[in-house]
Amino acid sequence: MLMGLVGGAFGLVKLGWPVVQSRPLPLLVTVAAGLILVAARRWPWPVLLIECLLLSSANWTAPLGGDVAQFGALTALGIIAYAANWPATAVALGLSYAASLVHLIGPDSEGLLPGQQGFVQLAGFFGISVAPVALARYLGGVRRVAQSAEERAREVEAQQEVQTRAARLAERAAIARDLHDIVAHHVGAIALQAGAAQYAARRTGRVDDAVQALGELRVTAGQVLDELRALLEVLRDPDAIVAGGPPIEPEQLIMDAEQRVRAAGVAVQMNLASDVGEAPLVVRTTAARVVQEGLTNTLKHAGPGTTASVDIRPDGTGLLVEVLDNGPEQPRPSLLPPSGHGLAGMRERVRLLGGTLLAGPTGSGGWRLAAHLPIREKTAAICAKPATRAVDAEPTGRSR
């Protein structure tokens, strides 16, 4: 809009009031050449064609309005060059330059200068046409680079979101498998206790034994119901609960992870509180998964020769799990590229229990992974004794 008003005003100034009074046609042509620029951004090609037509015919219709038409043609040319590709820009440049030449050599014009001066004159007109093209192509390139960077950033963000969601879903599937093992363990115990109560009542006739067996049955059933309520409500995919082999104790998972990284050259110091085994199986299984993730990260990013410590103990409200390493002896690339999916899965697993997970570098160049796993009040009594057992293991075939 502003460009069109400026072009129209320029046309009036160019013609002058005496010409306006005596020759209305030049007024209409010149003002039209300026006002049509209002539509240049939306319809640059039609505006360019109209401006070129007015410019090439200006010597017959409005000799003094040729400059306004030329300004309009160059403006439309720049807009086309800003958004279009090179072939379209070349076509627009050819139209604008051809209209300028027609205006130059037409009647009532100064005409083309003779000899070498004519070539200089043609080069000058060509330079005037190329200048807006060069500026517009540069600005358009900057805009396209910025748009491409924004699109790549959005794609990366979307990919990260998909990967994080996939990691969370995978972790929930792993939790579902663990939950299946927990349920199988408790239900098996319930079946044995029910059989014992039935045997005591029918075969021996001892009511006290039957009552005791039924009491143990009630406690076991209450435990499995509590643990099911803690996790089952957040597991939405029934296909994730698949039958595996016999349930593996969380302590065995921890020992397996310790032996695996120790065999790869990492020294491990294990501090496991003696009463951790009294915590609910769901909590102990999550603690084992955190230890697995922490030791795997130590091996992946710090490598052989690193010393790692694992500490699992009750704190009065739940279990504290910490995996700490001293970092690599020298800066080195990771054995595997970091993905961040393991930590995302651990955060999801810990969050589902109502706990917290912290991960980050230490001031001495190592890495710390710490989790707090809350325990309900009725099982929090296990958190009274801080006794631990310590195992200081050297890496196989290596020395500190």
Q: What is the 3-state secondary structure (H, E, C) of 276-290?
A: HHHCCHHHHHHHHHH
Predicted pLDDT at 349? 82
Give domain limits for the chain: 2-111, 167-240, 250-393
Which pair of structure tokens corresponds to residue 350? 């810990």
Distance of CA 273 to the CA centre of its chain: 39
How confident is residue 108, by pLDDT bands cut at 50, 70 and 90?
A: low
Q: Is the pLDDT score of 145 beyond 60?
A: yes
Reduced to 3 states (helix: H, G, I; strand: E, B; else coil), residue 70 is helix
Local structure of residue 362 (DSSP, 8 states): -
Question: 90 is written with which tokens?
Answer: 């070349």
Q: What's the Cα-to-Cα distance from 204 to each of 190, 193, 212, rounded to whole Å?
A: 20, 15, 14
* 235 DSSP assignment: -
The single-letter DSSP state of residue 247 is P
Find all residues with CB under 8 Å of 70, minimum gap 6, and list them. Answer: 51, 55, 99, 100, 103
How far is the C-alpha of 274 from the C-alpha of 383, rounded, in Å? 10
Residue range 32-46: mean pLDDT, rounded:
81
Q: What CATH number was assigned to the domain covering residues 250-393?
A: 3.30.565.10
Q: Which position has the higher pLDDT, 340 or 398? A: 340
CA distance 335 to 298: 10
Distance CA 339, CA 57 (A): 67
> How do 356-361 and 307-314 pair as beta strands?
unpaired
Rounded (10°) angle between helices 86-105 and 44-56: 20
**CA distances for 350 relative to 46, 172, 347, angstroms:** 64, 11, 5
Segment 366-377, tens digit of pLDDT: 999 999 999 865
Judged against a pLDDT cut of 70, whether residue 394 lies above it is answered with: no
Question: Phi, psi (5° rounding) for residue 158?
Answer: -65, -40
> How high is the pLDDT of residue 236?
43
DSSP codes joined into one string, 327-356: --SS----SS---SHHHHHHHHHHHHTT-E
Q: Which of 21-30, 129-138, 282-291 has the lowest mean pLDDT?
A: 21-30
Element (H, E) at 391: strand 388-393
pTM of the predicted model over 0.85: no
Mean pLDDT for all residues in the chain:
73
The CA-based angle 37-54-102, given to 5 degrees, is 130
**Residue written as token pair 């080069």:** 123
pLDDT of residue 325: 93
The C-alpha atoms of residue 118 and residue 105 are separated, in whole angstroms, by 11
pLDDT of residue 335: 44
User: What is the mean predicted confidence (pLDDT) over 318-328?
Assistant: 92
Confidence of residue 271 (pLDDT cuts 50, 70, 90): very high
Stronger pLDDT, 143 or 179, i.e. the higher one: 143
Rounded (5°) CA angle 357-359-360: 155
H or E element at residue 217: helix 207-231
Number of H helices, E strands in the chain: 12, 6
Alpha carbon distance 160, 276 (integer Å): 36
220-239 pLDDT, tens digit each: 677 666 666 665 554 544 33
Which residues are paired to 267 by β-bridges? 307
Q: Which of 56-60, 266-270, 321-325 has the lowest mean pLDDT?
A: 56-60
Alpha carbon distance 39, 139 (integer Å): 20
Most confidently modeled of 113-117, 214-218, 294-298? 294-298
Q: Which residue has the higher pLDDT, 343 or 16?
A: 343
Hey, what are 59's tokens?
Answer: 């010597």
CA distances to 176, 220, 248, 362 from 285, rounded to whole Å, are 12, 18, 9, 26
Joined together, the tokens standing for residue 84 give 């279009």
Confidence of residue 309 (pLDDT cuts 50, 70, 90): very high
